[in-house]
Chains A and B, each alone.
Chain A
Amino acid sequence: MLRKPLLYTLLGVASLITVVPLLYMLSLSLQTEAETLSAEAVLVPESPQWGNYAELFVRAPFGDFIVNSLVVAGAITLAHLVFDPLVGYVFAKFRFPLRNTLFVALLATLMVPFFVRMIPLYVLMANLGWLNTYQGLITPFLMDAFGIFLMRQFIQPIPDDLISAARIDGASELRVYWSVILPQTRPALAVLGLFTFVFQWNEFLWPLVATSTPEMRTIPVGLTLFNQEYFTLWHLTAAGSVILFVPTAVLFVLTQRYFVRGIALTGLK
Protein backbone atom coordinates (compact mmCIF):
# COMPACT_ATOMS: atom_id res chain seq x y z
CA MET A 1 0.00 0.00 0.00
CA LEU A 2 2.76 2.41 0.94
CA ARG A 3 6.24 2.64 -0.41
CA LYS A 4 8.75 0.31 1.20
CA PRO A 5 11.16 2.99 2.48
CA LEU A 6 8.26 4.57 4.31
CA LEU A 7 7.30 1.23 5.89
CA TYR A 8 10.88 0.59 6.97
CA THR A 9 11.06 4.07 8.44
CA LEU A 10 7.83 3.59 10.38
CA LEU A 11 8.85 0.20 11.76
CA GLY A 12 12.42 1.33 12.37
CA VAL A 13 11.38 4.40 14.36
CA ALA A 14 8.87 2.35 16.37
CA SER A 15 11.53 -0.27 17.09
CA LEU A 16 14.01 2.37 18.20
CA ILE A 17 11.45 3.92 20.55
CA THR A 18 10.93 0.42 21.93
CA VAL A 19 14.55 -0.62 22.26
CA VAL A 20 16.37 2.55 23.29
CA PRO A 21 14.67 2.88 26.71
CA LEU A 22 15.44 -0.79 27.45
CA LEU A 23 19.07 -0.32 26.44
CA TYR A 24 19.17 2.77 28.62
CA MET A 25 17.92 0.64 31.53
CA LEU A 26 20.88 -1.69 30.93
CA SER A 27 23.27 1.27 30.73
CA LEU A 28 21.85 2.80 33.90
CA SER A 29 22.34 -0.48 35.75
CA LEU A 30 26.06 -0.32 35.00
CA GLN A 31 26.63 3.32 35.92
CA THR A 32 28.16 4.66 39.09
CA GLU A 33 25.88 6.60 41.41
CA ALA A 34 27.73 9.77 40.40
CA GLU A 35 27.01 9.09 36.74
CA THR A 36 23.30 8.68 37.42
CA LEU A 37 23.33 12.09 39.15
CA SER A 38 25.60 14.01 36.79
CA ALA A 39 24.23 17.02 34.98
CA GLU A 40 25.23 15.60 31.63
CA ALA A 41 23.38 12.61 30.28
CA VAL A 42 25.45 9.45 30.58
CA LEU A 43 24.44 7.05 27.85
CA VAL A 44 27.39 4.69 28.05
CA PRO A 45 29.01 4.23 31.47
CA GLU A 46 32.71 5.09 31.77
CA SER A 47 33.49 1.64 33.09
CA PRO A 48 30.66 -0.84 33.61
CA GLN A 49 29.89 -1.30 37.30
CA TRP A 50 29.01 -5.00 37.42
CA GLY A 51 29.26 -4.69 41.18
CA ASN A 52 25.88 -2.92 41.13
CA TYR A 53 24.27 -6.30 40.69
CA ALA A 54 26.05 -7.69 43.75
CA GLU A 55 25.19 -4.59 45.74
CA LEU A 56 21.49 -5.29 45.28
CA PHE A 57 21.85 -8.32 47.49
CA VAL A 58 23.71 -6.34 50.13
CA ARG A 59 21.41 -3.34 50.25
CA ALA A 60 18.14 -5.25 50.17
CA PRO A 61 16.92 -8.85 50.54
CA PHE A 62 17.05 -9.25 46.76
CA GLY A 63 17.76 -12.97 47.03
CA ASP A 64 14.47 -13.35 48.87
CA PHE A 65 12.67 -11.37 46.17
CA ILE A 66 14.01 -13.72 43.49
CA VAL A 67 13.13 -16.86 45.43
CA ASN A 68 9.64 -15.52 46.16
CA SER A 69 9.02 -14.64 42.53
CA LEU A 70 10.20 -18.06 41.39
CA VAL A 71 8.12 -19.91 43.98
CA VAL A 72 4.95 -17.90 43.35
CA ALA A 73 5.09 -17.74 39.54
CA GLY A 74 6.31 -21.36 39.38
CA ALA A 75 3.59 -22.75 41.65
CA ILE A 76 0.84 -20.84 39.84
CA THR A 77 2.11 -22.00 36.45
CA LEU A 78 2.21 -25.59 37.66
CA ALA A 79 -1.33 -25.33 39.03
CA HIS A 80 -2.57 -23.97 35.69
CA LEU A 81 -0.91 -26.81 33.83
CA VAL A 82 -2.56 -29.34 36.14
CA PHE A 83 -6.06 -27.88 36.35
CA ASP A 84 -6.76 -25.90 33.17
CA PRO A 85 -6.48 -28.83 30.72
CA LEU A 86 -8.46 -31.12 33.02
CA VAL A 87 -11.34 -28.66 33.29
CA GLY A 88 -11.05 -27.82 29.60
CA TYR A 89 -11.31 -31.55 28.79
CA VAL A 90 -14.48 -31.92 30.86
CA PHE A 91 -16.17 -29.01 29.08
CA ALA A 92 -14.95 -30.21 25.68
CA LYS A 93 -15.90 -33.87 25.90
CA PHE A 94 -18.42 -34.63 28.64
CA ARG A 95 -22.20 -34.26 28.63
CA PHE A 96 -23.66 -33.71 32.10
CA PRO A 97 -26.44 -31.77 33.80
CA LEU A 98 -25.76 -28.03 34.26
CA ARG A 99 -22.90 -28.20 31.79
CA ASN A 100 -23.85 -25.02 29.94
CA THR A 101 -24.74 -23.18 33.12
CA LEU A 102 -21.39 -23.99 34.67
CA PHE A 103 -19.57 -23.04 31.51
CA VAL A 104 -21.30 -19.67 31.33
CA ALA A 105 -20.59 -19.13 35.03
CA LEU A 106 -16.94 -19.87 34.29
CA LEU A 107 -16.73 -17.51 31.32
CA ALA A 108 -18.49 -14.81 33.35
CA THR A 109 -15.43 -14.65 35.61
CA LEU A 110 -13.52 -13.20 32.64
CA MET A 111 -15.60 -10.06 33.09
CA VAL A 112 -14.36 -9.61 36.65
CA PRO A 113 -11.21 -7.50 36.78
CA PHE A 114 -8.79 -8.21 39.57
CA PHE A 115 -9.39 -4.97 41.45
CA VAL A 116 -12.96 -6.14 42.22
CA ARG A 117 -11.58 -9.16 44.06
CA MET A 118 -8.74 -7.24 45.69
CA ILE A 119 -10.47 -5.95 48.84
CA PRO A 120 -12.50 -9.09 49.68
CA LEU A 121 -9.48 -11.30 48.98
CA TYR A 122 -7.42 -9.14 51.33
CA VAL A 123 -10.05 -9.53 54.07
CA LEU A 124 -10.33 -13.28 53.38
CA MET A 125 -6.56 -13.74 53.56
CA ALA A 126 -6.40 -11.66 56.73
CA ASN A 127 -9.05 -13.89 58.32
CA LEU A 128 -7.22 -17.03 57.25
CA GLY A 129 -3.94 -15.64 58.52
CA TRP A 130 -2.57 -16.00 54.99
CA LEU A 131 -1.42 -12.43 54.40
CA ASN A 132 2.31 -12.28 53.81
CA THR A 133 2.52 -16.03 53.05
CA TYR A 134 3.12 -18.04 49.91
CA GLN A 135 -0.34 -19.59 50.04
CA GLY A 136 -1.80 -16.09 50.21
CA LEU A 137 0.14 -15.04 47.11
CA ILE A 138 -0.61 -18.21 45.17
CA THR A 139 -4.15 -19.42 45.86
CA PRO A 140 -6.16 -16.60 44.22
CA PHE A 141 -4.54 -17.48 40.86
CA LEU A 142 -4.59 -21.29 40.77
CA MET A 143 -6.72 -21.45 37.62
CA ASP A 144 -8.34 -19.05 35.24
CA ALA A 145 -11.12 -19.09 32.73
CA PHE A 146 -8.81 -18.00 29.91
CA GLY A 147 -6.59 -21.03 30.31
CA ILE A 148 -9.55 -23.38 30.62
CA PHE A 149 -11.15 -21.88 27.54
CA LEU A 150 -7.91 -22.16 25.56
CA MET A 151 -7.56 -25.83 26.51
CA ARG A 152 -11.21 -26.57 25.72
CA GLN A 153 -10.81 -25.10 22.24
CA PHE A 154 -7.74 -27.22 21.73
CA ILE A 155 -9.20 -30.48 23.05
CA GLN A 156 -12.54 -30.25 21.23
CA PRO A 157 -11.20 -31.39 17.82
CA ILE A 158 -9.61 -34.54 19.29
CA PRO A 159 -11.80 -37.40 17.96
CA ASP A 160 -14.26 -38.89 20.46
CA ASP A 161 -13.43 -42.33 19.06
CA LEU A 162 -9.99 -42.13 20.66
CA ILE A 163 -11.62 -41.69 24.05
CA SER A 164 -14.18 -44.45 23.47
CA ALA A 165 -11.49 -46.84 22.28
CA ALA A 166 -9.42 -46.25 25.39
CA ARG A 167 -12.49 -46.78 27.59
CA ILE A 168 -13.32 -50.03 25.82
CA ASP A 169 -9.74 -51.15 26.37
CA GLY A 170 -10.48 -50.75 30.05
CA ALA A 171 -8.62 -47.55 30.76
CA SER A 172 -9.80 -45.65 33.83
CA GLU A 173 -11.11 -42.13 33.30
CA LEU A 174 -7.99 -40.59 34.76
CA ARG A 175 -5.91 -42.85 32.54
CA VAL A 176 -7.88 -41.74 29.46
CA TYR A 177 -7.14 -38.15 30.35
CA TRP A 178 -3.51 -38.73 31.18
CA SER A 179 -2.52 -41.05 28.32
CA VAL A 180 -4.89 -40.09 25.51
CA ILE A 181 -5.81 -36.42 25.92
CA LEU A 182 -2.88 -34.79 27.67
CA PRO A 183 -0.13 -35.89 25.24
CA GLN A 184 -2.07 -34.26 22.38
CA THR A 185 -2.26 -30.90 24.11
CA ARG A 186 1.48 -30.23 24.35
CA PRO A 187 1.58 -27.17 22.06
CA ALA A 188 -1.35 -25.61 23.93
CA LEU A 189 0.26 -26.45 27.26
CA ALA A 190 3.43 -24.71 26.12
CA VAL A 191 1.46 -21.56 25.29
CA LEU A 192 -0.45 -21.75 28.55
CA GLY A 193 2.66 -22.32 30.63
CA LEU A 194 4.58 -19.47 28.99
CA PHE A 195 1.75 -16.98 29.32
CA THR A 196 0.98 -17.91 32.90
CA PHE A 197 4.58 -17.73 34.00
CA VAL A 198 5.32 -14.41 32.33
CA PHE A 199 2.19 -12.73 33.66
CA GLN A 200 2.63 -14.03 37.18
CA TRP A 201 6.33 -13.17 37.16
CA ASN A 202 5.34 -9.59 36.33
CA GLU A 203 2.26 -9.37 38.59
CA PHE A 204 2.27 -6.27 40.70
CA LEU A 205 -0.98 -5.35 42.44
CA TRP A 206 -1.72 -8.47 44.48
CA PRO A 207 1.83 -9.02 45.81
CA LEU A 208 1.85 -5.33 46.74
CA VAL A 209 -1.40 -5.71 48.67
CA ALA A 210 -0.80 -9.14 50.17
CA THR A 211 2.77 -8.79 51.47
CA SER A 212 4.04 -6.60 54.26
CA THR A 213 7.60 -7.64 55.06
CA PRO A 214 10.62 -7.32 52.76
CA GLU A 215 11.29 -11.05 53.05
CA MET A 216 7.96 -11.93 51.38
CA ARG A 217 8.10 -9.47 48.48
CA THR A 218 8.36 -10.49 44.87
CA ILE A 219 10.79 -8.70 42.55
CA PRO A 220 8.32 -6.19 41.00
CA VAL A 221 7.08 -5.06 44.39
CA GLY A 222 10.55 -5.11 45.95
CA LEU A 223 11.81 -2.94 43.09
CA THR A 224 9.26 -0.18 43.50
CA LEU A 225 9.84 -0.19 47.24
CA PHE A 226 13.57 0.23 46.59
CA ASN A 227 12.60 3.68 45.56
CA GLN A 228 10.96 4.49 48.83
CA GLU A 229 12.01 2.22 51.66
CA TYR A 230 15.57 1.26 50.98
CA PHE A 231 17.07 3.94 48.80
CA THR A 232 16.41 5.98 45.71
CA LEU A 233 19.40 4.83 43.77
CA TRP A 234 18.63 4.61 40.10
CA HIS A 235 21.59 2.44 39.14
CA LEU A 236 20.46 -0.25 41.62
CA THR A 237 16.81 0.09 40.66
CA ALA A 238 17.83 -0.40 37.05
CA ALA A 239 19.96 -3.42 37.93
CA GLY A 240 16.99 -4.99 39.72
CA SER A 241 14.80 -4.23 36.71
CA VAL A 242 17.28 -5.98 34.44
CA ILE A 243 17.20 -9.06 36.68
CA LEU A 244 13.39 -9.06 36.53
CA PHE A 245 13.36 -8.47 32.79
CA VAL A 246 16.01 -10.84 31.46
CA PRO A 247 14.34 -14.22 32.21
CA THR A 248 11.10 -13.30 30.44
CA ALA A 249 12.94 -11.66 27.56
CA VAL A 250 15.07 -14.77 26.99
CA LEU A 251 12.04 -17.03 27.31
CA PHE A 252 10.20 -14.88 24.80
CA VAL A 253 12.92 -14.70 22.19
CA LEU A 254 13.26 -18.49 22.31
CA THR A 255 9.52 -19.09 22.01
CA GLN A 256 8.14 -16.03 20.25
CA ARG A 257 6.26 -18.11 17.66
CA TYR A 258 4.23 -19.73 20.43
CA PHE A 259 3.62 -16.34 21.99
CA VAL A 260 2.35 -14.76 18.81
CA ARG A 261 0.16 -17.76 18.12
CA GLY A 262 -1.07 -17.65 21.71
CA ILE A 263 -2.07 -14.00 21.45
CA ALA A 264 -3.89 -14.65 18.20
CA LEU A 265 -5.60 -17.72 19.71
CA THR A 266 -6.67 -16.32 23.06
CA GLY A 267 -7.36 -12.94 21.58
CA LEU A 268 -9.54 -13.76 18.67
CA LYS A 269 -11.21 -17.11 19.16
Chain B
Amino acid sequence: MRPRTLSGRYARTAYLFLLPAILFFAAFFYLPIGNVVATSFRTGPMADQWTGLGNYAQAVADPAVRHSFLVTAGFSVMVVAGSIVLGLALALAIDQPLRGRVVFRVVLLVPYLTSVAIVGLLWRNILDPELGVLNRVLMAAGLPTQQWLNTAPLLTIAAVTLWQSVGYTMVLFLAGLQGIPETYHEAAKIDGADAWRRFWRITLPLLAPTTLFVSVMAVISGLQAFGQAYIITGGGPGDATDLSVFHIFNVAFRTRDFGYSSAQSVLLLIVIVAFTVIQLRAGRRGEVTY
Protein backbone atom coordinates (compact mmCIF):
# COMPACT_ATOMS: atom_id res chain seq x y z
CA MET B 1 0.00 0.00 0.00
CA ARG B 2 1.36 3.40 -0.95
CA PRO B 3 1.26 5.93 1.88
CA ARG B 4 -0.65 9.06 1.03
CA THR B 5 1.50 11.80 2.47
CA LEU B 6 5.14 12.61 2.02
CA SER B 7 5.82 12.59 5.74
CA GLY B 8 4.13 9.19 5.92
CA ARG B 9 6.60 7.91 3.38
CA TYR B 10 9.54 9.23 5.39
CA ALA B 11 8.14 7.83 8.60
CA ARG B 12 8.05 4.41 6.96
CA THR B 13 11.67 4.84 5.86
CA ALA B 14 12.61 5.87 9.39
CA TYR B 15 11.09 2.75 10.88
CA LEU B 16 12.65 0.58 8.22
CA PHE B 17 16.09 2.01 9.01
CA LEU B 18 15.42 1.64 12.72
CA LEU B 19 14.24 -1.94 12.55
CA PRO B 20 17.60 -3.63 13.17
CA ALA B 21 18.25 -1.30 16.10
CA ILE B 22 14.83 -1.89 17.63
CA LEU B 23 15.31 -5.65 17.38
CA PHE B 24 18.84 -5.44 18.76
CA PHE B 25 18.03 -3.27 21.77
CA ALA B 26 14.91 -5.31 22.50
CA ALA B 27 16.79 -8.62 22.39
CA PHE B 28 20.06 -7.60 24.04
CA PHE B 29 19.05 -4.82 26.45
CA TYR B 30 15.35 -4.81 27.28
CA LEU B 31 14.79 -8.56 27.27
CA PRO B 32 17.86 -9.20 29.48
CA ILE B 33 16.85 -6.43 31.89
CA GLY B 34 13.37 -7.95 32.12
CA ASN B 35 14.94 -11.37 32.60
CA VAL B 36 17.33 -10.32 35.32
CA VAL B 37 14.45 -8.82 37.26
CA ALA B 38 12.26 -11.88 36.66
CA THR B 39 15.08 -14.23 37.67
CA SER B 40 15.74 -12.22 40.83
CA PHE B 41 12.33 -13.39 42.14
CA ARG B 42 13.18 -17.03 41.57
CA THR B 43 15.27 -19.62 43.30
CA GLY B 44 16.52 -23.19 42.90
CA PRO B 45 19.29 -24.62 40.72
CA MET B 46 17.29 -23.91 37.53
CA ALA B 47 15.91 -20.61 38.92
CA ASP B 48 12.44 -22.03 38.36
CA GLN B 49 10.86 -21.67 41.80
CA TRP B 50 9.06 -18.47 42.71
CA THR B 51 10.40 -16.92 45.87
CA GLY B 52 9.08 -13.37 45.64
CA LEU B 53 11.36 -11.03 47.51
CA GLY B 54 13.16 -13.98 49.11
CA ASN B 55 16.47 -13.35 47.34
CA TYR B 56 16.35 -9.68 48.22
CA ALA B 57 15.64 -10.41 51.87
CA GLN B 58 18.48 -12.91 51.88
CA ALA B 59 20.86 -10.45 50.19
CA VAL B 60 20.10 -7.64 52.60
CA ALA B 61 20.71 -9.96 55.56
CA ASP B 62 23.78 -11.65 54.05
CA PRO B 63 26.98 -10.33 55.70
CA ALA B 64 29.01 -11.30 52.62
CA VAL B 65 26.78 -9.21 50.35
CA ARG B 66 26.81 -6.27 52.73
CA HIS B 67 30.57 -6.55 52.98
CA SER B 68 30.95 -6.60 49.18
CA PHE B 69 28.83 -3.43 48.94
CA LEU B 70 30.98 -1.71 51.58
CA VAL B 71 34.18 -2.78 49.84
CA THR B 72 32.81 -1.49 46.53
CA ALA B 73 31.77 1.80 48.12
CA GLY B 74 35.21 2.29 49.67
CA PHE B 75 36.90 1.44 46.39
CA SER B 76 34.65 3.87 44.49
CA VAL B 77 35.27 6.72 46.92
CA MET B 78 39.01 6.30 46.49
CA VAL B 79 38.75 6.15 42.71
CA VAL B 80 36.46 9.20 42.54
CA ALA B 81 38.63 11.29 44.87
CA GLY B 82 41.79 10.27 43.05
CA SER B 83 40.25 10.93 39.64
CA ILE B 84 39.23 14.44 40.60
CA VAL B 85 42.38 15.49 42.45
CA LEU B 86 44.96 13.86 40.19
CA GLY B 87 43.02 14.37 36.96
CA LEU B 88 42.50 18.04 37.68
CA ALA B 89 46.09 18.59 38.83
CA LEU B 90 47.44 16.99 35.66
CA ALA B 91 44.99 18.90 33.45
CA LEU B 92 45.95 22.22 35.06
CA ALA B 93 49.63 21.44 34.53
CA ILE B 94 49.25 20.32 30.94
CA ASP B 95 46.97 23.27 30.10
CA GLN B 96 49.96 25.62 30.48
CA PRO B 97 52.03 26.56 27.44
CA LEU B 98 54.71 23.93 27.97
CA ARG B 99 57.05 22.27 25.53
CA GLY B 100 56.12 18.67 24.85
CA ARG B 101 52.55 18.89 26.12
CA VAL B 102 51.39 16.56 23.37
CA VAL B 103 53.98 13.99 24.42
CA PHE B 104 52.86 14.19 28.06
CA ARG B 105 49.24 13.88 27.01
CA VAL B 106 49.90 10.87 24.80
CA VAL B 107 52.02 9.14 27.44
CA LEU B 108 49.49 9.70 30.22
CA LEU B 109 46.64 8.39 28.08
CA VAL B 110 48.35 5.17 27.05
CA PRO B 111 47.26 3.04 30.05
CA TYR B 112 43.65 3.97 29.31
CA LEU B 113 44.01 1.92 26.12
CA THR B 114 45.22 -1.21 27.86
CA SER B 115 43.02 -4.09 28.82
CA VAL B 116 42.26 -4.61 32.48
CA ALA B 117 43.84 -8.02 31.86
CA ILE B 118 47.21 -6.39 31.13
CA VAL B 119 46.92 -3.89 33.96
CA GLY B 120 45.93 -6.58 36.42
CA LEU B 121 48.64 -9.06 35.49
CA LEU B 122 51.36 -6.43 35.22
CA TRP B 123 50.66 -4.94 38.63
CA ARG B 124 50.15 -8.33 40.22
CA ASN B 125 53.67 -9.10 39.13
CA ILE B 126 55.10 -5.75 40.18
CA LEU B 127 53.47 -5.86 43.61
CA ASP B 128 54.10 -9.52 44.39
CA PRO B 129 55.68 -9.75 47.87
CA GLU B 130 58.51 -12.10 46.84
CA LEU B 131 58.88 -12.02 43.08
CA GLY B 132 57.60 -8.49 42.54
CA VAL B 133 60.08 -6.13 40.97
CA LEU B 134 59.09 -3.29 43.31
CA ASN B 135 60.13 -5.13 46.45
CA ARG B 136 63.26 -6.50 44.81
CA VAL B 137 64.26 -2.97 43.84
CA LEU B 138 63.52 -1.70 47.35
CA MET B 139 65.58 -4.52 48.78
CA ALA B 140 68.48 -3.77 46.48
CA ALA B 141 68.29 -0.15 47.60
CA GLY B 142 68.36 -1.26 51.22
CA LEU B 143 64.84 -0.05 51.88
CA PRO B 144 62.13 -1.97 53.74
CA THR B 145 59.85 -4.02 51.51
CA GLN B 146 56.09 -3.63 51.56
CA GLN B 147 53.22 -6.05 51.18
CA TRP B 148 50.85 -3.61 49.56
CA LEU B 149 48.26 -6.20 48.64
CA ASN B 150 48.14 -7.41 52.25
CA THR B 151 48.39 -4.22 54.26
CA ALA B 152 46.23 -1.93 52.09
CA PRO B 153 44.67 -4.13 49.41
CA LEU B 154 41.72 -1.91 48.54
CA LEU B 155 43.82 1.24 48.38
CA THR B 156 46.33 -0.61 46.23
CA ILE B 157 43.84 -1.81 43.63
CA ALA B 158 42.24 1.66 43.63
CA ALA B 159 45.69 3.12 42.91
CA VAL B 160 46.20 0.64 40.08
CA THR B 161 42.78 1.62 38.69
CA LEU B 162 43.80 5.27 38.82
CA TRP B 163 47.08 4.44 37.11
CA GLN B 164 44.99 3.19 34.21
CA SER B 165 42.26 5.81 34.13
CA VAL B 166 43.76 9.13 35.21
CA GLY B 167 44.78 10.09 31.67
CA TYR B 168 41.14 9.87 30.60
CA THR B 169 40.05 12.07 33.51
CA MET B 170 42.81 14.52 32.65
CA VAL B 171 41.56 14.84 29.06
CA LEU B 172 38.01 15.49 30.29
CA PHE B 173 39.24 18.22 32.65
CA LEU B 174 41.43 19.63 29.90
CA ALA B 175 38.39 19.98 27.63
CA GLY B 176 36.56 21.69 30.49
CA LEU B 177 39.43 24.09 31.14
CA GLN B 178 39.64 25.02 27.50
CA GLY B 179 35.94 25.89 27.56
CA ILE B 180 36.48 28.63 30.13
CA PRO B 181 36.70 31.99 28.37
CA GLU B 182 40.12 33.61 28.75
CA THR B 183 38.49 36.98 29.51
CA TYR B 184 37.37 35.83 32.97
CA HIS B 185 40.92 35.26 34.09
CA GLU B 186 42.11 38.50 32.49
CA ALA B 187 39.39 40.51 34.20
CA ALA B 188 40.23 38.93 37.55
CA LYS B 189 43.92 39.61 36.97
CA ILE B 190 43.19 43.28 36.37
CA ASP B 191 41.19 43.31 39.59
CA GLY B 192 44.32 42.10 41.32
CA ALA B 193 43.31 38.50 42.10
CA ASP B 194 46.34 36.24 42.51
CA ALA B 195 46.59 32.86 40.79
CA TRP B 196 45.42 30.93 43.84
CA ARG B 197 42.35 33.11 44.20
CA ARG B 198 41.59 32.89 40.47
CA PHE B 199 41.72 29.10 40.72
CA TRP B 200 39.25 28.92 43.63
CA ARG B 201 36.95 31.72 42.49
CA ILE B 202 36.91 31.24 38.73
CA THR B 203 38.41 28.00 37.45
CA LEU B 204 36.91 25.63 40.00
CA PRO B 205 33.31 27.00 39.92
CA LEU B 206 33.29 27.17 36.12
CA LEU B 207 34.66 23.65 36.01
CA ALA B 208 31.76 22.35 38.12
CA PRO B 209 29.93 20.66 35.22
CA THR B 210 33.11 18.83 34.21
CA THR B 211 33.88 17.85 37.79
CA LEU B 212 30.35 16.52 38.10
CA PHE B 213 30.67 14.55 34.88
CA VAL B 214 34.03 13.11 35.94
CA SER B 215 32.66 12.09 39.32
CA VAL B 216 29.55 10.47 37.80
CA MET B 217 31.72 8.51 35.36
CA ALA B 218 34.16 7.52 38.11
CA VAL B 219 31.36 6.38 40.44
CA ILE B 220 29.73 4.34 37.69
CA SER B 221 32.97 2.66 36.66
CA GLY B 222 34.13 2.24 40.28
CA LEU B 223 30.92 0.51 41.31
CA GLN B 224 31.23 -1.99 38.48
CA ALA B 225 34.94 -2.78 38.73
CA PHE B 226 35.63 -6.46 38.24
CA GLY B 227 38.98 -7.32 36.71
CA GLN B 228 40.95 -5.73 39.54
CA ALA B 229 39.52 -8.26 42.00
CA TYR B 230 39.39 -11.16 39.56
CA ILE B 231 42.99 -10.80 38.37
CA ILE B 232 45.02 -9.02 41.03
CA THR B 233 43.68 -10.12 44.39
CA GLY B 234 41.13 -12.87 43.77
CA GLY B 235 38.95 -10.91 46.19
CA GLY B 236 41.47 -11.31 49.01
CA PRO B 237 43.23 -11.30 51.30
CA GLY B 238 40.24 -12.92 52.93
CA ASP B 239 37.37 -10.92 51.48
CA ALA B 240 39.06 -7.52 51.67
CA THR B 241 38.67 -6.79 47.94
CA ASP B 242 35.47 -8.71 47.24
CA LEU B 243 34.07 -6.08 44.85
CA SER B 244 30.34 -6.40 44.14
CA VAL B 245 30.53 -7.46 40.51
CA PHE B 246 33.20 -10.01 41.42
CA HIS B 247 30.94 -11.28 44.20
CA ILE B 248 27.96 -11.48 41.82
CA PHE B 249 30.14 -13.24 39.24
CA ASN B 250 31.13 -15.87 41.80
CA VAL B 251 27.58 -16.41 43.03
CA ALA B 252 26.38 -16.75 39.44
CA PHE B 253 29.10 -18.86 37.87
CA ARG B 254 30.74 -20.70 40.77
CA THR B 255 27.67 -21.55 42.85
CA ARG B 256 25.27 -21.34 39.86
CA ASP B 257 22.67 -19.52 41.95
CA PHE B 258 21.25 -17.33 39.17
CA GLY B 259 18.27 -16.15 41.22
CA TYR B 260 20.40 -14.90 44.09
CA SER B 261 23.05 -13.36 41.83
CA SER B 262 20.36 -11.65 39.74
CA ALA B 263 18.84 -10.08 42.85
CA GLN B 264 22.28 -8.73 43.80
CA SER B 265 22.71 -7.36 40.26
CA VAL B 266 19.41 -5.53 40.53
CA LEU B 267 20.37 -4.10 43.94
CA LEU B 268 23.70 -2.86 42.60
CA LEU B 269 21.95 -1.38 39.55
CA ILE B 270 19.55 0.49 41.84
CA VAL B 271 22.50 1.90 43.78
CA ILE B 272 24.23 3.00 40.57
CA VAL B 273 21.12 4.62 39.10
CA ALA B 274 20.32 6.33 42.41
CA PHE B 275 23.84 7.74 42.65
CA THR B 276 23.76 8.97 39.08
CA VAL B 277 20.40 10.68 39.56
CA ILE B 278 21.43 12.29 42.86
CA GLN B 279 24.65 13.57 41.34
CA LEU B 280 22.92 14.97 38.29
CA ARG B 281 20.24 16.64 40.44
CA ALA B 282 22.85 18.17 42.71
CA GLY B 283 24.72 19.32 39.64
CA ARG B 284 21.70 20.99 38.11
CA ARG B 285 21.13 23.01 41.27
CA GLY B 286 24.72 24.18 41.45
CA GLU B 287 25.18 24.70 37.75
CA VAL B 288 27.01 27.82 36.73
CA THR B 289 25.92 29.65 33.63
CA TYR B 290 28.37 31.73 31.72
Contact = CB atoms under 8 A, between A and B. Distances in A.
A17 B259 CA distance: 43
Contacts, number: 259
A87 interface: yes
Contacts of A139: 28
B125 A118 contact: no
B118 A241 contact: yes
B107 A15 contact: yes
B68 interface: no
B108 A15 contact: yes
Query: Is chain B's interface secondary structure helix, strand, loop, or mixed overall?
Result: helix
Nearest to A242: B118
Question: Chain B: interface residue count, which band?
Answer: 35 or more
A112 B266 CA distance: 10
A120 B96 CA distance: 49
B176 A22 contact: no
Given A90-B17, A116-B269, A119-B258, A264 B171 contact: yes
Question: Chain A: interface residue count, which band?
Answer: 35 or more
A7 B92 CA distance: 9
Nearest to B117: A220
A140 interface: yes
Contacts of B137: 41, 43
Interface string A1-35: 11010011011001101110110110010000000
A155 to B, nearest CB: 12
17 contacts: A7-B98, A10-B89, A28-B125, A105-B25, A109-B29, A116-B36, A121-B32, A123-B39, A124-B31, A173-B10, A198-B113, A221-B117, A223-B117, A238-B125, A244-B115, A260-B171, A268-B172
Given A37-B131, A113-B223, A116-B265, 7 more contacts: A18-B163, A25-B118, A87-B17, A143-B21, A202-B116, A205-B226, A268-B172
Interface of A: 1-2, 4, 7-8, 10-11, 14-15, 17-19, 21-22, 24-25, 28, 36-37, 39-41, 43, 83, 86-87, 89-90, 94-97, 99, 102, 105-106, 109, 111-124, 139-140, 142-143, 148, 173, 177, 198, 201-205, 208-209, 219-221, 223-224, 227, 234, 237-238, 241, 244-245, 248-249, 252-253, 256, 259-260, 263-264, 267-268
